[in-house]
Structure 1
Amino acid sequence: MGQSRSPLDVAGLELLATRGWRGGDEAPLGEWLLRAGGGFTGRANSALVVGDPGMPLPDAVDAVTRWYTDRGLRPCAMLPGRQSRAADAAFAAAGWERDEDVLVLTGPLTPAPADGVPVDLSPEPGDAWLAGYRHRGRPLPPTARAVLVNADDVVFASVRLDPPPAPLAAVARGVVTDGWLGVAAVTVEERYRRQGLATAVMAALQRWGAGHGAHWVYLQVSASNAPARALYRQAGLIEHHRYHYRYAPA
């Protein structure tokens, strides 16, 4: 689905994206990658299921369960694309619960000129940025900052339209890895919505990415998030593949 237009296949893109959003603790399980980051986000706290785990799938499910249980985390697996179907069936057979689809969108980097919205770019997320990013609608846990800054070439975009103590109007995070710009954490404060701010921070991140050697852009969006999907479609991003999480029985 759109994959021929991207220079990376599903496994290649997911492994690249892993380097842009890292937990602090990683270990291989064959070609799978186990990741833990204090419980903040599924992406940093799940087994990335690509390739061969080097053992029968039921044994791999057990190994994933033990690794996360040892770290006090609910075991979680991230299952991208058609290549993970057999593993998905093994997790399902063990009673793991399936979450909704997430779309991975990609496109060539197309930096637009600045449109007058004041977008600030910083190498660190300040307190106002951290307060402005709502992950799944919730405030960030204390472990979030360590995950957010744990990348080689990362930037934090923010838009302030009213002076403090008013919140930031919009925030987003960008990271460049091997010529790819990863966009995440795009959040617009409710009172500032429908003013083009998400488009403005996306454009600012693309300009930043172009200056850091990026030629392609990727991001993830929940299948149920219709407004964001429409925004990214207008930005020329198309579906590369989908993934979903499975969680061990509570």
Structure 2
Amino acid sequence: MGQSRSPLDVVGLERVAARGWRGSEEAALGEWLLRAGGGFTGRANSVLVAGDPGRALPNAVDAVTAWYRERGLRPCAQLPGRQARPADAAFAAAGWERDEDVLVLTAPLTSGPDGGVPVDLSPTPDDAWLAGYHHRGRPLPPTARAVLTNAEDVVFASVRLDEGPLAAVARGVVTDDWLGVAAVTVAEEHRRRGLATAVMAALQRWGAERGATWVYLQVTSSNAPARALYRSAGFIEHHRYHYRYASD
């Protein structure tokens, strides 16, 4: 992949990503997007701070807090790029705790060979797929399936090498001309065998068939092995975001 610059700015790409990983409930706060999904993942259970909330920032913080408290969720804000700095300061002033940086990486989409690893693609995740995806190292809650499937054009990739659990899984979604890749998980006993590269390639072929020309993904700043993998595949950093959480 080349080092071409993404055609979207921070807000534009975050709005695409928000359509690719949605909560089960959404509401607008000015240009901000409130999302709730039963507590599964920060992205589906945070307000996307992009644009103008239509009110003074301290009042916006209060409105976000109330919306999540009403749903029994810990209030959370996703704060991407420099445009979110004033809001970040307002959340910090209200005592919200900052999480680590998440890197949003992009690359022009390429459709290469399969590399000899059989990758199955399905429009829905079966029980084996759900068991293979450990979000932040934990089994998935019952609400996960609804969040994972809540997209217009989504696919679930899996690799089975033996009769045991799946060796690798990943999720792909096409939004406009962007492929979003997420949930890339390789079982510990099958790592360093090229399986993550194989599922990435399969998803890119799938995305290309649907007209995608760019691909994005997110990786935490502390995940050095994944960052190295994506760097070697030609991904470059587009921007960063972080979450802030209200005090319990």
Residue of structure 1 equivalent to 2:114: 114
Residue of structure 2 equivalent to 1:245: 243
Equivalent position SS for 2:43: coil
- Write the mapping of 1:100-111 to structure 2, written as runs, cut at 5 A: 100-111=100-111
* TM superposition shift of 1:111: 1.5
Residue of structure 1 equivalent to 2:189: 191
The root-mean-square deviation of aligned C-alpha atoms, in Å, is 0.9
Residue of structure 1 equivalent to 2:21: 21
CA distance in 1, matches of 2:66, 2:156: 35
Residue of structure 1 equivalent to 2:218: 220
- Write the mapping of 1:26-41 to structure 2, written as runs, cut at 5 A: 26-41=26-41
Matched, 1:12 2:17: no
Deviations 1:188-232 (A, max 9, x none): 001000000000000000000000110000000000000000000
- The answer as to whether partners of 2:4 and 2:107 remain within 8 angstroms in 1 is no
Question: Percent sequence identity over matched residues?
Answer: 82
Equivalent position SS for 2:228: helix
Matched, 1:134 2:134: yes
Residue of structure 2 equivalent to 1:169: 167
Equivalent position SS for 1:55: coil
Equivalent position SS for 2:45: coil
Residue of structure 1 equivalent to 2:208: 210
Equivalent position SS for 2:44: coil
- The answer as to whether partners of 2:172 and 2:179 remain within 8 angstroms in 1 is yes
Q: Which amino acid aligns with 2:200?
A: M
Q: Which amino acid aligns with 1:102?
A: V
- The answer as to whether partners of 2:174 and 2:210 remain within 8 angstroms in 1 is yes
TM-score (norm 1): 0.97
| Larger displacement relative to structure 2 (110-119 or 41-50) | 110-119
- Write the mapping of 1:149-160 to structure 2, written as runs, cut at 5 A: 149-160=149-160
Figure out how many residues of one structure are paired with residues of the other and give that number.
Answer: 246
Residue of structure 1 equivalent to 2:72: 72
Structure 2 counterpart of 1:230, from 228, 239, 248: 228
CA distance in 1, matches of 2:131, 2:214: 29
* TM superposition shift of 1:4: 7.8
* TM superposition shift of 1:178: 0.3
CA distance in 2, matches of 1:120, 1:239: 29
* TM superposition shift of 1:110: 1.1
- The answer as to whether partners of 2:80 and 2:239 remain within 8 angstroms in 1 is yes
Q: Which ranges of 4 or more aligned residues in structure 1 deviate by more than 4 Å?
A: none
CA distance in 2, matches of 1:43, 1:83: 18
Equivalent position SS for 1:233: helix
**Structure 1 unpaired stretches of 5+:** none
Equivalent position SS for 1:230: helix
TM-score (norm 2): 0.98
Deviations 1:51-74 (A, max 9, x none): 100000000000000000000000
**Structure 2 unpaired stretches of 5+:** none
